[in-house]
Amino acid sequence: MNERIALEEEMRLKKEAKAVEERRKIEVRRMSERIVLEEETRLKKERWLVEEQMRHVQEKHKMRVKEEQKCLPEERCKRMNEQNRLLSDKQEKLSDEDMEVSQAIKKVLVSKSEQVQMLSVDPDGVI
């Protein structure tokens, strides 16, 4: 009888140990699930934050591009005006040089004309 009681006690203790082990496994599984859920939530929040940052950067980029596009015609106009000014300065300079050349040609022609007149007056004259 003592053996039987000892066997029953041993069986009861094994059952209790098995039940305790099962409860521990269930608790570990629940904790693991909670950790996984918390990690998924953290990742979702992080993903959302990154997407928000990307949207913010995209908006800033769009605004900057719009500003640049607004400025482009003004810049183009400024560059064209500057180029036109440089061209007109260059043309004025060339015109001044042309005038100097044409005046020099006139002087040479007048000088030659005077020489021709002098020769026609005195054909033996030395020039």
Q: Note the pLDDT tens digit of each residue in 52-73.
A: 999 999 999 999 988 877 776 7
| Structural Rg of the chain based on CA atoms | 52
For residue 92, is pLDDT > 70? yes
Can you tell me the distance from the alpha carbon of 126 to that of 118, in angstroms, rounded to the nearest whole number?
9
What residue has token string 């950067």?
57
Q: Note the pLDDT tens digit of each residue in 11-56.
A: 999 999 999 999 999 999 999 999 999 999 999 999 999 999 999 9
What's the gap between Cα 18 and its chain centre? Answer: 66
**Distances in whole angstroms, Cα of residue 109 to Cα of each of 43, 65, 102:** 94, 64, 10
For residue 125, is pLDDT > 70? no
